[in-house]
């Protein structure tokens, strides 16, 4: 076996319902630990997987970027098929490619796209139970107009939870749009930015929804940005409506061919 380490970059999708978030924690089920078990089944000396985003408990992903280091020389197709044989039904490797050892998606990420799913319905529908936040009634136009205030570079200190102690709270959002689905009841809020604070997307969506259902006066997003006070923002939207949809990462020049293309 060649002992020289090299990296593998995965694109991973998961249903976050039964996970306590991405990051490994003692005595609870996490995506990172579950994926590490599959990697170890193929190479017991491989490093722990390194993710691009520390998604919360209940949050889903369709394109989480994950890298690990291994001494095994297995083609990308072999990693995808092999890892999926060792993974449960609620997490899957969607693609793989070779990268240099030590490549860390979190440090290489230049932007992310999240999508938050809502269903406007006065009566609960089991099909949306773990996929969207049900709101009985909503002024969608009022809600959508709030998102425009968040686009651009702002201090988002008022849109983070108390668990976020980072000193730098300035972030840039390139997009905050409301998309309507094929189902007339369904809509989603798409948020793209260079980086995010803890619970930032969920608090932004919750504030927009609170305006749309008349719990906050119009202009709430702008007021919370101006004051930088969490009390001026709205509800933290439930985790189960949120999906990490895309991570834009700078790839090294030595990146291998991805499988599947």
Tokens 């932007």 locate to 111
Residues paired with residue 244 on neighbouring β-strands, in sequence order: 61, 114
Does 173 map to a domain?
A: yes
Q: Please tell me the distance from the alpha carbon of residue 158 to that of residue 249, in angstroms, as a whole number.
A: 27
Does 175 map to a domain?
A: yes
The average pLDDT across 11-23 equals: 97
Q: Please tell me the distance from the alpha carbon of residue 250 to that of residue 192, in angstroms, as a whole number.
A: 16
Condensed to tens digits (0 to 9), the pLDDT of residues 19-36 reads 999 999 999 999 999 999
Statement to judge: residues 117 and 220 lie in one domain: yes
Does 160 map to a domain?
A: yes
Does 250 map to a domain?
A: no
Q: How far is CA 90 from CA 24, 35, 86, 184, in A?
A: 17, 11, 12, 28
Statement to judge: residues 148 and 213 lie in one domain: yes
Statement to judge: residues 118 and 240 lie in one domain: yes
Statement to judge: residues 95 and 28 lie in one domain: yes
The average pLDDT across 2-15 equals: 92
Q: Please tell me the distance from the alpha carbon of residue 40 to that of residue 83, in angstroms, as a whole number.
A: 9
Tokens 């101006």 locate to 226
Q: Which helix (H) or strand (E) holds 110?
A: strand 109-120
Statement to judge: residues 99 and 121 lie in one domain: no
Percent of the residues in the chain that have a pLDDT greater than 90, as a whole number: 94
CATH number of the domain residue 207 falls in: 3.30.70.660
- CB of 189 closer than 8 Å to CB of 118: yes
Out of 84, 103, 122, a domain closes at 103
Reduce the DSSP state of residue 124 to 3 states and report it: coil
CATH number of the domain residue 49 falls in: 3.30.70.580
Range of the domain at 125: 110-244
Count of residues in the chain = 261
- CB of 226 closer than 8 Å to CB of 159: no
Statement to judge: residues 76 and 193 lie in one domain: no
Condensed to tens digits (0 to 9), the pLDDT of residues 82-108 reads 999 999 999 999 999 999 999 999 999
Statement to judge: residues 190 and 144 lie in one domain: yes
Two tokens at 252? 């090294």
Q: What is the band of 1 on the pLDDT scale with cuts at 50, 70, 90?
A: very low
Does 249 map to a domain?
A: no
Catalytic one among 15, 43, 56, 210?
Answer: 56
Q: What is the band of 261 on the pLDDT scale with cuts at 50, 70, 90?
A: confident
Statement to judge: residues 120 and 188 lie in one domain: yes
User: How many angstroms from the chain centroid is the CA of residue 21?
Assistant: 10
Q: Please tell me the distance from the alpha carbon of residue 206 to that of residue 224, in angstroms, as a whole number.
A: 12
Active site residue 43: no
Two tokens at 73? 């020389």
Dihedral sign of CA atoms 207, 208, 212, 216 in order: positive
Does 85 map to a domain?
A: yes
Statement to judge: residues 115 and 99 lie in one domain: no
| Mean pLDDT of all residues belonging to the chain | 96
Q: Please tell me the distance from the alpha carbon of residue 49 to that of residue 34, in angstroms, as a whole number.
A: 10
The average pLDDT across 159-173 equals: 92
The average pLDDT across 176-199 equals: 94
Tally of domains in the chain: 2
Statement to judge: residues 226 and 172 lie in one domain: yes
Does 251 map to a domain?
A: no
Q: Please tell me the distance from the alpha carbon of residue 193 to that of residue 90, in angstroms, as a whole number.
A: 27
């Amino acid at each position: 076996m060649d002992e020289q380490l090299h990296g593998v970059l995965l694109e991973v999708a998961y249903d976050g319902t039964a996970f306590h978030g991405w990051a490994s924690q003692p005595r609870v089920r996490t995506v990172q630990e579950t994926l590490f078990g599959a990697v170890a089944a193929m190479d017991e000396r491989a490093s722990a997987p390194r993710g691009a985003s520390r998604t919360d408990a209940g949050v889903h992903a369709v394109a989480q970027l994950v890298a690990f280091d291994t001494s095994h020389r297995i083609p990308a197709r072999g990693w995808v098929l092999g890892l999926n044989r060792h993974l449960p039904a609620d997490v899957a490797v969607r693609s793989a490619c070779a990268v240099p050892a030590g490549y860390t998606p979190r440090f290489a990420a230049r932007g992310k796209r999240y999508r938050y799913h809502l269903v406007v319905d006065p009566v609960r529908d089991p099909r949306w139970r773990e996929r969207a936040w049900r709101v009985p009634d909503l002024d969608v136009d009022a809600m959508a107009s709030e998102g425009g205030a968040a686009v651009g570079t702002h201090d988002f200190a008022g849109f983070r939870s108390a668990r976020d102690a980072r000193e730098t709270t300035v972030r840039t959002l390139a997009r905050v749009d409301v998309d309507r689905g094929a189902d007339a009841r369904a809509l989603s809020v798409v948020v793209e930015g260079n980086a995010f604070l803890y619970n930032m997307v969920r608090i932004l969506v919750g504030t927009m929804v609170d305006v749309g259902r008349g719990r906050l006066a119009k202009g709430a997003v702008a007021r919370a940005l101006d004051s930088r006070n969490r009390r001026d923002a709205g509800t933290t939207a439930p985790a189960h409506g949120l999906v990490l949809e895309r991570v834009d990462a700078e790839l090294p020049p030595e990146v291998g061919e991805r499988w599947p293309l």
